[in-house]
Amino acid sequence: NAGVTQTPKFQVLKTGQSMTLQCAQDMNHEYMSWYRQDPGMGLRLIHYSVGAGITDQGEVPNGYNVSRSTTEDFPLRLLSAAPSQTSVYFCASSYDHVETQYFGPGTRLLVL
Amino acid sequence: DQQVKQNSPSLSVQEGRISILNCDYTNSMFDYFLWYKKYPAEGPTFLISISSIKDKNEDGRFTVFLNKSAKHLSLHIVPSQPGDSAVYFCAASGIQGAQKLVFGQGTRLTINP
């Protein structure tokens, strides 16, 4: 049981490049979320999903796209990276209520 | 507007003593509150939670207190141990967004031997 896995661990992008941050969980959780963590800001919700085929926006969705074609995977796409998207990104999943969220180890993204 | 605030960026406590971490919130619609612990290069892990219908919840060395009238909650760790050194995040959720957690900025707790 690997829990929540995220790839890559670290990525450097140039402004305007696109990339996909991968997130997978093997716990058969319905709920999955993406957060970003910035200094002095705590964690902020980007997008979340309550099941396959269903996604919704969080607090800071601009510049990010998500899709949920399977229960296991919830990729986060940056279509045109900007320096403001330099951050640490965490994926989380839970079976039912939000308090049981399990977080992945994070992806550190640097946009130059 | 920061709906959940942790006003102390850092806290240093001697091993064996009590650690008290504080959190304030502004949204009266929040009905569930959580504390997460985070070590460097790892994701946050759930520590303890409390529903708005309670004013206290205990789990071993960890106790969370909720004061709804003051919109304030606190986490007490007794006794503090070196392994408790981490960043602690307070978070809140409301009825309308059960999957939406709002986090505070975090407090870095250092336990000194």
Please tell me whether residue A85 adopts helix, strand or coil conformation. Answer: helix
What is the nearest CA distance from B89 to chain A, expressed in angstroms? 7
| The pLDDT value given to residue A36 | 97
How far does chain B reach from its first CA to its final CA, in angstroms?
A: 38
Q: Given a cut of 90, is residue A85 above it in pLDDT?
A: yes
Q: For residue A108, what are the CA distances in angstroms to A35, A38, B10, B46? A: 12, 11, 23, 21
- In this structure, the dihedral spanned by the alpha carbons of residues B60, B100, B24 and B56, taken in order and rounded to 10 degrees, is -30
Q: List the single best residue of B101, B102, B105 to mutate versus A (max A Cβ within 10 A).
A: B101
Q: Is there a contact between B99 and A94 if contact means CB atoms under 8 Å apart?
A: yes
CB B102 within 8 A of CB B4: yes
Instruction: Tell which residue, B84, B65, B81, has the closest CA to residue B22.
Output: B65
Phi-psi map region of A26: left, alpha, beta (phi>0 left; psi -120 to 50 alpha): alpha
Helix (H) or strand (E) holding B44: none
Q: What average pLDDT does chain B have?
A: 93
| The pLDDT value given to residue B62 | 98
Q: For residue B23, what are the CA distances in angstroms to A24, A82, A95, B26, B35? A: 32, 32, 27, 10, 10
Q: List the single best residue of A25, A101, A102 to mutate versus B (max B Cβ within 10 A).
A: A101
pLDDT-derived band of residue A98, with 50, 70 and 90 as boundaries? low
Question: Which of B43, B44, B98 faces A97 most closely, judged by CB atoms?
Answer: B98
What is the nearest CA distance from A57 to chain B, expressed in angstroms? 10
| The pLDDT value given to residue B101 | 86
> Does B41 reach chain A within 8 Å, measured CB to CB?
yes
> Does B47 reach chain A within 8 Å, measured CB to CB?
no
Phi-psi map region of B96: left, alpha, beta (phi>0 left; psi -120 to 50 alpha): alpha
Q: Could you read off the pLDDT of B9-25 as tens digits, one per residue?
A: 999 999 999 999 999 99
Chain B hits for A59, Cβ within 8 Å: 100, 102
| The pLDDT value given to residue B96 | 52
Q: Could you read off the pLDDT of B17-57 as tens digits, one per residue?
A: 999 999 999 989 898 899 999 999 899 999 999 999 999 99
Q: For residue B78, what are the CA distances in angstroms to B16, B90, B111? A: 7, 18, 12
Encoded amino acid at B5, one letter: K
- In terms of CA atoms, which chain B residue is nearest residue A99? B34
Phi-psi map region of A105: left, alpha, beta (phi>0 left; psi -120 to 50 alpha): alpha
| The pLDDT value given to residue A28 | 92
Q: Given a cut of 70, is residue B98 above it in pLDDT?
A: no
Q: Is there a contact between A98 and B32 if contact means CB atoms under 8 Å apart?
A: yes
Q: Is there a contact between A4 and B43 if contact means CB atoms under 8 Å apart?
A: yes
The maximal CA–CA distance of chain A, rounded, in angstroms, is 38
Chain A hits for B89, Cβ within 8 Å: 42-43
